[in-house]
Each structure stands twice: as structure tokens, then as C-alpha cells.
Structure 1
Amino acid sequence: MNRHRAALRMGALATIIAATMTACGGSGGAGGGPAEGEGLVIDGETIADAALVDAAMAEGTVVVYTSVTEQRARAVLDAFQEDSGLAYELVRLAGGALSQRVLSEQAAGQLGADVVQQSDYSLAIAEKDAGVFAPYCPPDKDKLPQQSIDAECTFWPAQDGVHVIIYNTELVSTADSPKSWDDVLDPRWTGKFNMPYIGTGGSTWARDLMLRKDKGVEYWRELAAQNPVLTASSSTTLESVVRGESPVGNAVTGAALEAINQGAPIAMNFPTDGAAAYSTWTGLAAEAAHPNAAKVLLNWMASKAGQTATVEEGGDYSVRDDVAPPEANGEALPTRAEAKLVYPETFPEYVTERKTYQAEWLEIFDYQA
């Protein structure tokens, strides 16, 4: 059992779910790390040479602004702290609120972050255009998905979340559970399928763009006719299915795994007609107060050790092909290829048609944001 899952079993599920939508701050104290004058090497992989490590240690800490849920972000950063000996400070906000803070601080010349993580590609682009990021390529750049990285590594994907169908195992059998997005249209799920609405964030926009591009706008209309239970947050949907208020719903892997691995009565299916994935776009802040500590963190995040921690401690998929997928109750989830992951952030429409398509979705589903 890894450190994160052991810790989760000691907490209440409500605490985990509440953390996913809370604006958070705080720090982690320094852990172990290499001895003075030594580089950071893990399992034979050099993550930072001695000069970078010494410069980072002189700075002492790294400040991370992230839209990843607090519990998962801390679990990964705690692993980094243990490996590197560097302390961290964390500011966690939902994607839109995080971008507002980042852009406001950037405009005032007072951005407090050393590393910025944004799970909404459109917002990451807006931050890039505002000068938030300084180009920085980690040593393991070639192990990352090349189609997602510009030549200067202005920002890059550090981890992937995946949209899955979840169901309450006390109410729905595995055999009866919906295995695909088409299955969700079965009349048995009318008024019973719970899902966060399209405007919740970049991840739900990715989900609905995939469905529209693959199945056409008619699928949106058919799904709306099912009278799904729409919520303003993914945590509300997850909590509703865990409690049995809705027997089936939509969630992302990291949050669902937190609940499953601590005993919640839910299971997940990767839709056989496509599972929408979204990345956490990560980069070095242009005016970082602790640039060397930030580079050590970014190098670690791209390394096999960091990617393994992202999977085992945070429950997300690695962006590297040489790192195994997450586990649920000790059983490995499908690989990216097996799960038929689709990356809507690579579609031109993700940026160009967002306002138009979202307005159409809101009208079709008769939802007031």
C-alpha cells in the first residue's frame, strides 16, 4: 500500500470530497533529499545535478499554484519533498479562480508562484500570452507527449485525468452498469445519471467536446432528453453517487480512486466509445522567486520517479509510456491505449469554439449557470 492510500484510509470521505473544491494554502516542511554537494539521483536517473540542487537548497522552498485538488496535490508534493529535501508552499484554487489570481498578480508584477499548474488548456494559453511562463525544458522532455509541447517548453502536461462512468455498487451491478456513453441513453437511467455541467472547467468542456465531435450535436440532445442530474462541481456529483442519491454518474479518475481506495461503494467503467482525457499544464513562472527549486520540482515531475508518484500518490495517469497506470483496490486500471483515451485539448475547437458550443449546450440542457 503506498503512502497516499494509507493516509486516505485514516480520513473521512467527506473531507476528501470537500477538498476538491476548496481554495487552499499552506506549506510542507522539508524532508530528506541528497547530501550537500550531491545531485538528486533516483533509481539511477539524474533529476538535478549538484549545482542545481545546491542552488535550490539555498532558496529552500518552492511555491506552487495549482488547480489539482488539494489532497492529491499535497500527496504528490509530499513525495517530492521526501525525495528532494525541499519544502513547498501550495496555493490551490479551481481553474477559473486560479487563472484570475495568476493573471491579476502577473499584471501587478507580484506573481507569487514559482510553478503554475492549470488543468484548463485555454486558461493556460491565456496565462502564456500574459507572460506568466518562462520557457524551461526538463531533462526528460523526450519522454513526454511531443504533440503537446512547444519547442521552448513554455508549459507541458505533467499528468492526465480521465473521464469515467461511475456507479454505486450497492445499487447497480457490474453487469447492469453503463459501459459506454451510448449506454447512458438507456431509458433505465432517465433522471438517474449525475454529471457536472459543461462549464465546470476545462475537463468537462473536454468531455462534452469529445462527445459532440464523435457523436454529433444530436447526442447532446439525446442525453439532455434523459433528464440527467446536473451539478456545478465534480465533487458534488461524486458525493451524490457515493451516497446513493444517484446510482450512476460521471467522474474523473483521480477523485474516484480516492473514494474507491478508502472503501466507498463505487466502481468505474472506462467508456468503450472513448474516454476523454485532460492534462495538467505545468510550467516555470517567469518571475519565480525560487527558480532553482522550481526547476528541481519540474525535473522531478517529468522524471520516472515523479510520474510514478503522480500515479501512486495522486491517482492520475502518467504522461509517460514507461510508467504503469493507477490502481483501484490493488488492481491496475487500463493503460492509456487500452482505455481508448481521447485528448480533446488537441482539437482546434477546444479553443476556437468554446463559447459557441458551451452556449449551445446550456440551451440544449436548459441549464442556468
Structure 2
Amino acid sequence: MKRLLPLTLALGLALAQGTLTLYTSEILADVNALVEAFRARNPGVQVQVFRSGTGEVVAKLRAELEAGNPQPDLLWFANEDFLKELAAKGLLRRVPPTVPGYPVQYAQGGGLYYEVRLLYNVLAVNTQRVREAPSAWRDLLKPAYRGLLAMPDPNFSGAALATVGTLSERLGFDFFARLKDLGMRIEQSNPVLQQKLARGEYGLAITTDFGVRQEAAKGAPLAVVYPRDGAILVPTPVAVTSWSKHPELAVRFLNFLLSPEAQRIFAERGYYPVMPGAPKPQGAPERVVGTRARFADAQTLDRFNALFGLRR
């Protein structure tokens, strides 16, 4: 036993140390808050973060895979279709659900990727520019909202890609053509759009709920409207890659995101936590009528780009 003790201790130290690489489209300040909390529990672990819009994150990883040198241990972005593609190629590690009470409906692919909090696409209103807020998606077609509306670029934002796919399927692609006729503008990302909405450059936005709450907490005159016909629940799961050099640490980070501490951080930063019993974000409704997102396929995205003069 004495001869085995140093080896056991060495294995434990090796597990407690290392560098994880995370590729994500999540807001960097929110990711950093979670990374700092994780490192406080795991002081020997470093976490390197590459953060950009979902489109750029996916493009970077595709290029690395083609070069035979993929880097991330963990993936966390809003493109479930790409994760399904990786899963079909055996490039995601199956992680058994070990966190007590985790809602099984959020473990996708038999444990290949996990939701860690909920993100909705909603209608956001600058209350100083819009007196009567819309209550459903079709309300955006009212002439009173002409020239007031914007949304993010679906080539950059995975959440916007979900908006285009979901509303095209539910309301027809002509819905976006009519919004274009009413002067809808396209901004690069949700954060840029939300800041312009807060400044009053727009009166309405199709955007993420948590970001609007973050701007409102700073004093911006913004309100979140969950459409009565269903806010768009955007999948943004976390996955551990099959090529990870530190899979045990990667799983530890994933499990940390489901811990009470991390779930509280999510709520404080405006997100709905995924774990039962976790606090709700301040000012958010107890329940949301949601519809699961459908990401736009390449043909629909091409039509959208042609309509708004965007380039992929």
C-alpha cells in the first residue's frame, strides 16, 4: 500500500491540473464569471476561451478539423445541427448524466451534449420609443412599427439563425419579406443590437431575453415581451469533444455548470437556470410559453441573405 500511495497521489494531482480550451459563442463576461468560479474550486486548472459569434466559432472548428488539429475540449454555442453533425461522426464524448435532479429532456443525443441554462429569443421594446408593445410575432407587421425594428445577423448569431428558421417555418418566409418592406434592419450581434436599442436607435428588436435584462439592469428603458404564440427556445448545449486531452476535467467543468453556484450565476446574469429549484432571473416571469427552435437550413439562409443584402 505504501508503494501505491505516491502513484495514487500523483494521479490525483494530475487530474486536478491542466488547461481546458473552450470554444463558445456565449457572452464573454458571463463565461468569465463562470470560469472564475470554476477555477476557485479547481485552482490547478486553467481555462482558455475562444469566443465569437456562432458562425465564426463553427467556421474556426471546421478549419481545424480539416487540418487535422482540432483544439477545444469543450463546445458551447447555438448550433445544435452542427453538434449533431459532429455526433454522427463520433466526435463528441458521451457523458453519463450524473447530476442529481437534472431534467432528462435537456440531455440530448443520449448524453452527448447538455443544456446548462435556457435562452429565449423574444421581442424587446424600448419603452420610450414604443408605447404599445407587440404581444405576438405577427404584431411586428403592424404599420405603427415601421422603421423601428432590428434583429441580429443569422450568419454571425446562432440565436438569429434559429429565429430565421423557426419563424420561416411557422409564418412563412414572406414574413421576413414583409418585415424588410417595413424597414427592419440587421445588426451583427445581439449585444450590439441591444446596446443600440437601449440608446433608442431602435424601438423594437428580435433578440435574446437575458441580454435585454442585463441592459435593463443598467438602467436602460427596455422591456422583454415573451410572445403569446411562443418565445423561441434556442438550444445552446455544452459538449465534450472526443479528441479532448483532458476529458475528466472537461466533464468536471460541465458538471460545475449544473451546480447550485453556477446556476445562481446564470440567474444573476439574466438567464433561466435549467436545474429545478434554482432561482429565476429577477423580473422574469415564472413560466414562459416557448417553442423549440428550428435552425435555418442553407437554402433559407441564402434567401435571407439575398433579401437583406448580406454576405456569408
TM-score relative to the length of structure 2: 0.85
Aligned residue in 2 for 1:167: 125
Aligned residue in 2 for 1:339: 288
Q: Distance in 1 between matches of 2:201 and 2:106?
A: 41
Aligned residue in 2 for 1:139: 98
How far apart are residue 168 of structure 1 and its match?
1.9
Question: What is the 5 A alignment of 1:150-189?
Answer: 150-151=109-110, 153-173=111-131, 176-189=132-145
How far apart are residue 269 of structure 1 and its match?
1.3
* Contact 2:119–2:235 under 8 Å retained in 1: yes
Aligned residue in 2 for 1:249: 205
Q: Which runs of 5+ in 2 are unaligned?
A: 1-8
How far apart are residue 147 of structure 1 and its match?
6.2
**CA offsets per residue over residues 207-232 of structure 1, 9 Å max, x none?**
22222333334433432332212223
How far apart are residue 51 of structure 1 and its match?
11
Question: What is the 5 A alignment of 1:8-157?
Answer: 55-57=14-16, 59-85=17-43, 86-140=45-99, 143-146=102-105, 149-151=108-110, 153-157=111-115
Q: Distance in 2 between matches of 1:283 and 1:298?
A: 8
Question: What is the 5 A alignment of 1:223-262?
Answer: 223-262=179-218
Please say if 1:358 is aligned against 2:305: no
* Contact 1:275–1:339 under 8 Å retained in 2: yes
SS at match of 2:163: helix
Q: Distance in 1 between matches of 2:126 and 2:305?
A: 27
Q: Please say which of residues 68-77 and 192-201 is displaced more in the overlay.
A: 192-201
Q: Distance in 1 between matches of 2:303 and 2:70?
A: 36
How far apart are residue 99 of structure 1 and its match?
1.8
Q: Distance in 2 between matches of 1:74 and 1:129?
A: 31
How far apart are residue 84 of structure 1 and its match?
3.9
* Contact 1:118–1:124 under 8 Å retained in 2: no
Aligned residue in 2 for 1:203: 159
How far apart are residue 267 of structure 1 and its match?
2.0
Please say if 1:271 is aligned against 2:271: no
Q: Distance in 1 between matches of 2:250 and 2:225?
A: 37
**CA offsets per residue over residues 276-317 of structure 1, 9 Å max, x none?**
12122211122222222212111112334433333324x322
Aligned residue in 1 for 2:309: 367
Q: Please say which of residues 80-89 and 67-76 is displaced more in the overlay.
A: 80-89
Please say if 1:323 is aligned against 2:281: no
How far apart are residue 93 of structure 1 and its match?
2.2
How far apart are residue 247 of structure 1 and its match?
1.6
Please tell me the root mean square deviation across aligned C-alpha atoms, in Å.
Answer: 2.7
**CA offsets per residue over residues 337-365 of structure 1, 9 Å max, x none?**
x32111124xxxx4xx61222233345x4
Q: Distance in 2 between matches of 1:91 and 1:52?
A: 29
* Contact 1:155–1:282 under 8 Å retained in 2: yes
Cα gap change, 1:60/1:368 in structure 2, threshold over 3 Å: closer, same or farther?
closer
Amino acid in the other structure paired with 2:73: D
* Contact 2:115–2:274 under 8 Å retained in 1: yes
How far apart are residue 242 of structure 1 and its match?
1.4
Cα gap change, 1:185/1:334 in structure 2, threshold over 3 Å: closer, same or farther?
same
